[in-house]
């Protein structure tokens, strides 16, 4: 099971990333759990300075933008 983490304070882009990542993971049939990381210190501990960020199993894959669902599927696949 993969752990998908959405790094952000709850802004509109963060919500959009969470929604898009969930659709992408469901679309490829991924076994996952999703967590929203909203604590700024925790977000910065990932090395992310601009939100939103997407981390999988503790590794940051995207920061500062909301990629397309197809791009997220490629990252998760």
Cα–Cα distance, 39 to 27 (Å, whole number): 29
Instruction: Judge contact between 45 and 75, C-beta under 8 A.
Output: no
Which residues are part of the catalytic machinery?
11, 14
């Amino acid at each position: 099971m993969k752990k998908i983490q959405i790094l952000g304070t709850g802004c509109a882009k963060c919500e959009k990333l969470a929604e898009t990542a969930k659709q992408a993971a469901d679309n490829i049939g991924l076994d996952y759990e999703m967590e929203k990381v909203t604590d700024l210190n925790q977000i910065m501990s990932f090395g992310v300075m601009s939100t939103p960020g997407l981390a999988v199993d503790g590794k940051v894959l995207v920061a500062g933008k909301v990629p397309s669902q197809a791009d997220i599927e490629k990252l998760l696949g």
